[in-house]
């Protein structure tokens, strides 16, 4: 039986694009070294995509959409292919998870659940939904028949991040492909391998050539080509705000393609003195920021705590942080793996150093295991952060949490909303009325109550303010990939 250790040692052949049903090198033969954050070693190479590669994939997707090889299949026929694909991913889950961990450093326990198993569940969810989506008959003048059809938008470009590439990728390609769209997906430069493997399995499942294409390379080249293309009808993206703005600008300069963005957050996690269980609040809050080394879009990176319990919460949070085992992500005992890249690690450490220089009380936050050649960091708690601190305001995307006291509910709301972001939030309280008030008043697309994280596919995920627009997950995700088309028939 294949084991984690055997997969860890398995040599990897060079990875190529998947375009029009074939594995293809970059048009100019260029490659990019894939380096593991576990120990800094070279894993393999990836095709370093060119604009011509992106254009070839877009052309393949355009042809596949226009000739109806996918969109004209019955929903039941598309469902069967998608379900076969999910079965193949499930059968290869350990291989895919280890492949991803070797490239991006997520701890294996989380990677298995959040990457292949999550993708399997997502594909099955949307596959099972597509033959239940119906149109409408308008209640109009009986001399006319008004029909509202749901039609696939066409070619979808998707750009996904490195923290959970397969999970987030599936949130986009699951509903898009189920709806009958074709797709060109660009993974992050430091997390491409699992998506390339899954694209190969799509072909094995019987997905027609050109329907699902994956092109690897730099965002400034491949991503820019997707955003500027006149043949991409919709673009979906999870990543940084500056990149999201450039994508919208490119859309405006080209064909006004619709652009849906999830741009991260600086999510407030609010703990009142009447929290039902302060130990549980501290434990879950630690998990909500320190899992995957803080590299989670909805991470609860700003803890706001009622002043009377500030010291107690910091002590409990620090105890949970100190107990987290940071290390080799392919060790099942590890609770927080490697930071994705040396660049990201240095950025995280710079936030910690700045907080210390500003006189803040920082617990933890040291670089760990440098002798391994990998990128590891101890969880960091800025125990007395203030609203003017950069670490309070900017997304770190690492295992760094701020703790800030408040005195009143109104102050908690003001601090929570004092952000350009609005992706997620949490409230810990035993007061039901307060919980509902906070849900209503906090500017965020997702508000947890007495928990953090773990919402499933049945509910949407999307942000407000500069956290983006549009929604992943739930049946609402179809809204991005289906147009409403009216047929007005005189009887």
pLDDT digits (tens, 9 = 90+) for 85-132: 999 999 999 999 999 999 999 999 999 999 999 999 999 999 999 999
Alpha-carbon 146 to chain mean position:
39
Structural domains in the chain, CATH included, are 4-263+468-490 (3.40.605.10), 268-456 (3.40.309.10)
Please check the confidence at residue 1 and state whether its pLDDT lies above 80. no
HEC secondary structure over the chain: CCCHHHHHHCCCCCECEEECCEEECCCCCCEEEEECCCCCCEEEEEECCCHHHHHHHHHHHHHHHHCCCCCCCCHHHHHHHHHHHHHHHHHCHHHHHHHHHHHHCCCHHHHHHHHHHHHHHHHHHHHHHCCCCCCEECCCCCCEEEEEEEEECCEEEEECCCCCHHHHHHHHHHHHHHCCCEEEEECECCECHHHHHHHHHHHHCCCCCCCEEECCCCHHHHHHHHHHCCCCCEEEEECCHHHHHHHHHHHHHCCCCEEEEECCCCCEEEECCCCCCHHHHHHHHHHHHHHHHHCCCCCCCEEEEEHHHHHHHHHHHHHHHHHCCECCCCCCCCCECCCCCHHHHHHHHHHHHHHHHCCCCEEECCEECHHHCCCEECCEEECCCCCCCHHHHCCCCCCEEEEEEECCHHHHHHHHHCCCCCCEEEEECCCHHHHHHHHHHCCCCEEEECCCCCCCCCCCECCCHHHECCCECCHHHHHHCEEEEEEEEEC
- Average pLDDT on 349-370 reads 98
Q: How far is CA 105 from the centre of its chain?
A: 15
Residue showing tokens 């601090």: 415
Residue 454 pLDDT:
87
State yes or no: is 280 an active-site residue. Answer: no
pLDDT band at 459 (very low <50, low <70, confident <90, very high): very high
Cα 357 to Cα 363: distance, rounded to the nearest angstrom: 14
Chain centroid offset of residue 24 CA = 26
Token duo for residue 219: 């965002």
Q: What tokens were used for 488?
A: 């007005």
Mean pLDDT of the chain: 97
Q: How far apart are CA 311 and CA 443, in angstroms?
A: 27
Question: Residues near 11 by Cβ (< 8 Å), separated by ≥ 6?
Answer: none
Strands 367-368 and 376-377: antiparallel
pLDDT of 2 strictly over 90: no
| C-alpha torsion 388→391→392→395, nearest 10 | 130
pLDDT at 485: 97
Q: Is the pLDDT of residue 149 over 80?
A: yes
Which pLDDT band, with edges at 50, 70 and 90, does 406 fall under? very high
Reported as a pLDDT band with limits 50, 70 and 90, residue 13 is very high
Residue 227 has pLDDT above 80, yes or no: yes
Q: Compute the distance between CA of residue 166 and CA of residue 181 in angstroms, rounded to an integer.
A: 19
Cross-sheet strand order for the sheet of 268-271? 362-364, 380-382, 400-406, 302-306, 268-271, 424-428, 446-449
| CB-based contact 86:166 (threshold 8 Å) | no
Which pLDDT tens digit goes with each residue over 315-324?
Answer: 999 999 999 9
Residue of 262, 342, 388, 409 with catalytic role: 262
pLDDT average, residue stretch 251-270: 97
Q: Determine the average pLDDT of the residues in 8-36.
A: 97
Task: Answer whether 422's CB lies under 8 Å from 462's CB.
Answer: no
């Amino acid at each position: 039986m294949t084991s984690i250790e055997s997969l860890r040692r398995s040599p990897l052949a060079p990875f190529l694009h998947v375009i029009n049903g074939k594995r293809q090198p970059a048009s100019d033969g260029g490659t990019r070294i894939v380096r593991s954050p576990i120990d800094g070693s070279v894993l393999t190479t990836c095709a370093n995509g060119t604009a011509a590669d992106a254009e070839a994939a877009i052309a393949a997707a355009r042809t596949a959409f226009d000739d109806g090889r996918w969109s004209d299949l019955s929903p039941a026929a598309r469902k069967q292919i998608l379900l076969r694909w999910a079965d193949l991913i499930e059968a290869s889950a350990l291989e895919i998870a280890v492949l991803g961990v070797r490239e991006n450093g997520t701890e294996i326990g989380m990677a298995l659940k959040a990457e292949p198993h999550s993708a399997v569940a997502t594909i099955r969810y949307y596959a099972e939904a597509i033959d239940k989506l119906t149109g409408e008959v308008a209640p109009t003048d009986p001399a006319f028949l008004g029909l509202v059809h749901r039609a696939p938008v066409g070619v979808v470009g998707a750009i996904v991040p490195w923290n959970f590439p397969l999970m987030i990728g599936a949130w986009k390609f699951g509903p898009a492909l189920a709806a009958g769209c074709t797709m060109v997906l660009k993974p992050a430069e430091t997390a491409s391998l699992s998506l390339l493997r899954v694209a190969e399995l799509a072909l094995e499942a019987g997905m027609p050539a050109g329907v699902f294409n994956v092109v690897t390379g730099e965002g400034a080249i491949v991503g820019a080509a997707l955003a500027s293309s006149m043949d991409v009808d919709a673009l979906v993206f999870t990543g940084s705000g500056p990149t999201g703005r450039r994508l919208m600008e490119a859309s405006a300069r080209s064909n006004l393609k619709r652009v849906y963005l999830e741009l991260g957050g600086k999510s407030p996690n609010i703990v009142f003195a009447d929290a039902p269980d302060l130990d549980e609040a501290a434990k879950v809050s630690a998990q909500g920021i320190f899992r995957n080394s803080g590299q989670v879009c909805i991470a609860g990176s700003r803890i706001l705590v009622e002043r009377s319990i500030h010291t107690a919460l910091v002590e409990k949070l620090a105890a949970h942080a100190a107990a987290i085992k940071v290390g080799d992500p392919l060790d099942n005992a590890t609770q927080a793996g490697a930071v994705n890249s040396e660049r990201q690690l240095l950025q995280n450490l710079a936030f910690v150093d700045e907080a210390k220089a500003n006189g803040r009380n920082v617990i933890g936050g040291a670089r760990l295991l440098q002798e391994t050649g990998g990128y590891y960091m101890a969880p960091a708690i800025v125990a007395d952060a203030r609203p003017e601190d950069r670490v309070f305001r900017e997304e770190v995307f690492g295992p760094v949490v701020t703790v800030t006291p408040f005195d009143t509910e109104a102050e908690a709301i003001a601090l929570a909303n004092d952000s350009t972001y609005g992706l997620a939030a949490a409230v810990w309280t035993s007061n039901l009325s307060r919980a509902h008030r906070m849900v209503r008043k906090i500017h965020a697309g997702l508000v947890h109550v007495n928990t953090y994280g773990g919402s499933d596919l049945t509910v949407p995920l999307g942000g407000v303010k500069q956290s983006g627009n549009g929604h992943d997950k739930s049946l609402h995700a179809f809204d991005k990939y289906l147009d409403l088309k009216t047929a007005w028939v005189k009887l």
